[in-house]
């Protein structure tokens, strides 16, 4: 089954490591066979990989963009995903992590990334809830009064 990519004006997509950029109008590109594809908007920069799920996403993305990295990072990603599975107690997140790992095993890295996006959002929610102050803290200048 062919994949139709509807590209926005000036949108970039990476296909099997080759960067393709659309011109100033919408365009539909048809990919007739399996290829490693990622839209420019889905690409994470290394400095954005600042949480456990984001680090896993970044490594899987690296595997998608560079086949040699796939060989290098495969066992690292498997270990990371196992740790993520045990860290997240939410059954839906565990299911997504397992599906992502199955997709990595099948070398379908884009689907693995798609499985991790909701896990990233869930992780962000947990981290934001943890960072928000739940109690009023007394400033140090008033603590001894």
Residues 17-66: tens digit of each pLDDT = 889 998 999 989 899 998 899 999 999 999 999 999 999 999 999 999 99
CA distance 124 to 66: 27
* Domains of the chain by residue range: 3-42, 46-131
Query: What does the pLDDT read at residue 138?
Result: 47
Q: What is the pTM of this model?
A: 0.82
Distances in whole angstroms, Cα of residue 59 to Cα of each of 3, 28, 30, 53, 121: 24, 29, 27, 10, 18
134 has pLDDT over 60 = no
């Amino acid at each position: 089954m062919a994949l139709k990519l509807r590209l926005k004006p000036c949108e970039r997509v990476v296909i099997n490591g080759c960067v393709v950029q659309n011109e100033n109008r919408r365009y539909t590109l048809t990919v007739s066979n399996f290829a490693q594809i990622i839209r420019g908007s889905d690409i994470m920069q290394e400095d954005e990989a600042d949480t456990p799920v984001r680090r896993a996403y970044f490594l899987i993305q690296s595997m998608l963009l560079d086949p040699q990295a796939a060989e290098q990072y495969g066992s690292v990603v498997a270990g990371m995903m196992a740790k993520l599975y045990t860290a997240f107690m939410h059954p839906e997140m565990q299911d997504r992590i397992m599906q992502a790992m199955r997709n990595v095993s099948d070398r379908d890295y884009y689907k693995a990334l798609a499985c991790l996006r909701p896990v990233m959002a869930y992780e962000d929610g947990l981290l934001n809830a943890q960072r928000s102050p739940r109690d009023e803290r007394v400033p140090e200048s008033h603590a001894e009064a």
